[in-house]
Structure 1
Amino acid sequence: MIRLRQLWSELRVSLWFVPSLIVLAAIGLAVLAVEVDTYVSDDLLRAYPRLFGAGAEGSRAMLSTIAGSMMTVAGVTFSITIAALAQASAQYTPRILRNFMGNRTNQVVLGVFVGIFAYCLVVLRTIRGSDGLVFVPSIAVLLGVLLALLGVAFLVFFIHHVASSIQASNIAGAVSGEAIRTIEHLFPEALGEHPGEDCDEPAPEIPDARWRPVPARHTGYIQRVDEAGLLRFACARRAVVRMEKAIGEFIIQGTPLVSVAGGEGAGGRSDEDTARAMDELYVIGGHRTADQDPSFGVQQIVDVALKALSPGINDTTTAVTCVDYLSAILARAAGRRPVSPYRFDGGELRVIAQGVTFEALLDVAFGAIRRNAAGNTTVLARMLSAVEAVAGCASRERDRRALARHAALIAEVAQRTIAASHERALVGEQVTGLLRRLGWEAGDSPAGPG
């Protein structure tokens, strides 16, 4: 099942799958339109000569023109798409290319143009005007003209869509929406049984645990894990499986992917069998995906912000926009119940998972931006506002402590790098009020990695 889901995920972001479906639908429509023509009365066709009065040669010329123009427009559409991809990659980050490729509008528009071309080819083949046999599928020809007009409308819409889709706010909004959907899917995580609501619970005792590392059989990023299958595997072996790498992390072939303890019910299975079983439960590829990895969406927005803060671009507004959308992701994560890493079956520990946490998302979201926003009062102040907004959604003490730590770190950067004394004072007042609302005094800010 995990392989099918991964295949479907790859098909969704490909530029050929949806256009291929549209081409097949266009061919079916052409065959249907020609068949309908054979059952339509000639009286109806003669009643509307301006609509259905084209002869064989005129119909051929018209459909040939439409087919040729649609292929030309399809080439232009593809060129515009490639140009947009190149610009987005250079101006923002190469990691958003899959978002453009997976954009359903781009796929549908390209499919419409190629589909109209295929429709015209099929109808052209059925037109007869020589050897004493005359057949002109007038309804199919008229439908081809209507499809050509539809193609013109799609071209105008596509130009508008590309112009708006490469704007920084729309890019950040699309990535943010994808990350939020992933968070809503993962939290809470309904896998196995877990004894408590708080993922800070102490690790259960595993008596005489002898962990046997299971090496990875591929090199790449962990894209997807079948955690339900992992639990079934552990139950069948009467073992405990500990994930050594989280989704989104890079794994090298031969290094430990998971570790297994126990396994009295292994039935003599070798470590190679276990490695083969893990290979069926893990999907490892050459790039990260956002399906089970919300931190990847956060990282994409952070990359856009870092590019905006670079000396060669210095686009403060784009960086502020990215901070705003990052706060939306963090606010949604702060409002979700944390998931225990321990998976139980019948009261027995079976899986020790590695999942994303609010603190990890917070570090990815604000760490790099804070370090690169030195001296930028606007960005640092907006980051403090974002921390305050997220704090309104955070109820767990650990989450609020993490927010206070980042507020203190932002304050330290501001006091050290902002040149104007009055701007430093304004940021200092904002930090003092924020830390007080979080339950911390400015001089007693929590320590932690920055």
Structure 2
Amino acid sequence: MGDWMDTGGLREGRRPRALSPLREHLRDTFWFAPTAAMVLVFVVWAVASELDTAIVEALQKAHEYGTLDDLLRLADDAKTVVTVVSSAMMTFIGVVFSISLVAVQMASGQFSPRVVRIFVRSRITKATFAVFLATFLLSLLVLTSYEGQAEARLVTSVPLVQSVLTLLMLGLSLLLFVMYVNQTLRLMRISHVIDRITREAFKVVARMPVARSSGEEEALGPETARVAHHGRAGVLRDVNIARLVKAARQQGVVLRLLPRIGDFVVPGTPLLAVHGGPAPSGRSLSYTVSVGVERTFHQDFAFGLRQLSDIGLRALSAAVNDPTTAVQAIDRIVQFLSAVAGRPLDAALYRDRRGNVRLVQPVPGWTELVDLGFAEIRGCAVGSPQVTRRIIAGLDDLALTAPSDRREPLLRHRALLVEAVELTVPEASDRAFALRPDRQGIG
């Protein structure tokens, strides 16, 4: 298993920590991080305000009125900076993110609409937006803490700590702005987008459990009941594996998920098959299924391959006509298929603490993954010798590394591509050139 994990860029022997469905869904939102940051700012401001009050009271008790006058002058100077920050920050936020949204729109139009989720899930993007809003809110709160002109003996609070905190937040905002611009520019580069998709796909592969024996799924016993979907219609994004395993263990049964992650389900669709006894109660199965408007990487084994195929198809369209990008997508498709070539597929088995199988989750088989990776691109690649040469080289490489029982779909796609080129390209020399294996397409 270490080989395919290395291929994905993960450390050997290290499995990535799986996020809970709630945390994963929060990562797919853009509101949570800014909201949490602004709530945290209120708490920090309240603590800083108490510190400022305590400092003034301590100086007044010690009759250090000269020091207090110095603090008043320093705070008055800092007020000018805080006022500028508060007035300029919202304008800055609007301009920066307007430009960024244009860049994301261009990337989604040229590569695939699915790349927008990379922008939404980016930690730098969320941190930048959250810190920008937090700095703006903090500057407004600090301005409310400034008192009018007063003598040192009469002043109750000098927002010195608050002003210093605002300046620190401003410095952090500038640092994150530089990092954010770099991240946005990288998002517009197809090589970075493809690499991000591939790394996310390998994380899903690394989290997927491997069956101990090939006959375990067949040994589940007869089906005794079914559970239908009663929620809204949409794409099956993921299931709460821990809750399903617990419900199956308490009932003494095995649950088998019928639709695959990424399937579109409607109310009444059979969702779970029960083996070995009656179905668990509706209460124990509540909040175990997440349905949304789009697929996610959380448990979707083939979603990365789907996105790579989409990018290759978009690149081969007449509107874009960028075969080099299609070759880059094929590179990663070959990488992904090579990594899972020796891995048990078709089903993922989840066990309880005693090692008993409690949940069976279907995943795409080898033939389905090969078809997903090559069928559509192969159909659009006939007129581009750069792409046909790369597909031939990729299929040949996979045929060498895949087990013997998994070579049939690879040879079938190769034969179909050769047949399509021979029927489409009239010149024999051009046909020979288009079907010559080349890992770079055309050098």
CA distance in 2, matches of 1:305, 1:295: 16
2:291 corresponds to 1:284: yes
RMSD: 3.6
Q: Write the distance in 1 (CA, Å) between the matches of 2:97 and 2:369.
A: 36
1:372 is aligned to 380
Contact kept? 1:309, 1:319, Cα under 8 Å: yes
State the SS of the aligned residue for 1:129: coil
1:307-346 alignment, distance < 5 Å: 307-338=314-345
> Gapped runs of 5+ residues in structure 1?
432-450
Cα 1:428/1:16, change in 2 over 3 Å: closer
Match of 1:72 among 75, 91, 108: 91
Partner of 1:434: none
Q: Indicate the residue corresponding to 1:440 in structure 2.
A: none
- Write the mapping of 1:177-256 to structure 2, written as runs, cut at 5 A: 177-188=199-210, 194=212, 196=213, 198=214, 203-204=218-219, 206=221, 209=222, 212-218=225-231, 219-227=233-241, 229-234=243-248, 236-237=250-251, 239=253, 241-256=255-270
Q: What amino acid maps onto 2:230 in structure 1?
A: R
Cα 1:65/1:370, change in 2 over 3 Å: same
Distance 1:353 1:153, change over 3 A: closer
- How many Å separate the matches in 2 of 1:426 and 1:278? 58
The within-5 A match list for 1:409-448 is 409-428=416-435, 430=437
List aligned pairs for 1:116-131, cutoff 5 A: 116-130=135-149
Q: Specify the alignment match of 2:22 in structure 1.
A: 7
Contact 2:226 2:272 in 1 (8 A): yes
- Give the distance between the partners of 1:155 and 1:241, measured in 2 at CA: 48
- Residues 136-147 of structure 1: pairs in structure 2 closer than 5 A: 136-147=158-169
Report the AA paired with residue 384 of structure 1.
I
Kindly state the Cα deviation for residue 342 of structure 1 after the two structures are TM-superposed.
Answer: 6.8
**Could you tell me whether the CA contact under 8 Å between 1:220 and 1:250 is conserved in 2?**
yes
1:54 is the counterpart of 2:86:
no
Q: Per-residue deviation at 1:162?
A: 1.3
Q: What is the rounded CA distance, in whole Å, between the counterparts of 1:150 and 1:347 in structure 2? A: 49
Alpha-carbon distance, 1:236 to partner: 4.6
**For structure 2, which runs of at least 5 residues remain unmatched after alignment?**
1-18, 439-443
* Counterpart secondary structure, 1:128: coil
Asked whether the 8 Å contact 1:239–1:350 carries over to 2, the reply is yes
Residues 133-169 of structure 1: CA deviation (Å, up to 9, x unaligned): 4443334324433433443343343233212212221
Aligned residue number for residue 446 of structure 1: none
Q: Deviations over 1:295-326 (max 9, x none)?
A: 11211121121111111111111111111122
Structure 2 vs 1, CA of residues 427 and 309 (structure 1 numbering), >3 Å: closer, same or farther? Answer: closer
Structure 1 residues 342, 183: CA separation in 2 closer, same or farther (over 3 Å shift)?
closer
Counterpart contact for 2:226–2:273, Cα < 8 Å:
yes
SS at match of 2:290: strand
Candidates 344, 357, 364, aligned match of 1:356: 364
What secondary structure sits across from 2:310 in the alignment?
Answer: helix
Question: 2:128 aligned to 92, 109, 127, which one?
Answer: 109
Q: How far has the Cα of 1:10 moved from its partner?
A: 1.7
Letter aligned with residue 203 of structure 2 = R
**1:382/1:349 Cα in 2 relative to 1: closer, same or farther (>3 Å)?**
same
Which whole-Å deviations, capped at 9, do the CAs of 1:239-278 have from their partners, x for residues lacking one? 5544321111112211222333552xx4xxxx7x756655
Counterpart CA distance in 1 for 2:170 and 2:248 is 58
Answering whether residue 166 of structure 2 is matched by residue 159 of structure 1, we say no
> Contact (CA 8 Å) 1:13, 1:99: kept in 2 or not?
no
Instruction: Name the CA distance, whole Å, in 2 between partners of 1:402 and 1:45.
Output: 85
- Mapped to 2, the partners of 1:54 and 1:274 lie a distance apart of 66
After superposition, give the CA deviation of every residue in 1:53-112 in whole Å (9 maximum; x if it has no partner). Answer: 4353x4333212111211211222332333233223322222222221111111111111
Greater Cα shift, 321-330 or 334-343 = 334-343
Contact 2:33 2:127 in 1 (8 A): yes
With over 3 angstroms needed to count, the CA separation of the structure-2 counterparts of 1:239 and 1:187, relative to structure 1, is: closer
1:7 counterpart letter in structure 2: L
Match of 2:34 among 11, 19, 22: 19
Contact in 1 for aligned 2:260/2:362 (Cα 8 Å): yes
Q: Secondary structure at the match of 1:160?
A: helix
Matched positions, count: 409
Aligned amino acid, residue 157 of structure 1:
M
Which residue of the other structure, out of 91, 102, 105, is the alignment partner of 2:110? Answer: 91
Structure-1 residue corresponding to 2:14:
none
What's the secondary structure of 1:224's corresponding residue? strand
The whole-number CA distance in structure 1 between the counterparts of 2:384 and 2:118 is 30
Write the letter of the residue equivalent to 1:377.
P
Q: Distance in 1 between matches of 2:175 and 2:348?
A: 52
- Taking a change above 3 Å as real, the CA distance of residues 276 and 286 of structure 1, as seen in their structure-2 partners, is farther
1:171 is the counterpart of 2:185 = no
**Aligned residues of 1:30 and 1:122 also touching (Cα < 8 A):** yes
| CA shift for structure 1 position 224 | 1.4
Q: Is the 8 A contact 1:93 1:300 kept in 2?
A: yes
Distance in 2, Cα, partners of 1:107 & 1:242: 37
Query: Does structure 1 conserve the Cα–Cα contact (< 8 Å) formed by 2:327 and 2:387?
Result: yes
Q: Which amino acid aligns with 1:86?
A: Q
For residues 359 and 45 of structure 1, the distance between their equivalents in structure 2, rounded to whole angstroms, comes to 82
Output the amino acid matched with 1:98. R
Amino acid at match of 1:379: V
CA contact (8 A) 1:45 1:52 kept: no
Gap change, CA 1:238 and 1:380, over 3 Å in 2? same
Change (3 A) 1:342 1:152: closer
- After superposition, the Cα gap between the structure-2 partners of 1:228 and 1:108, relative to the gap in structure 1 and judged at 3 Å, is closer
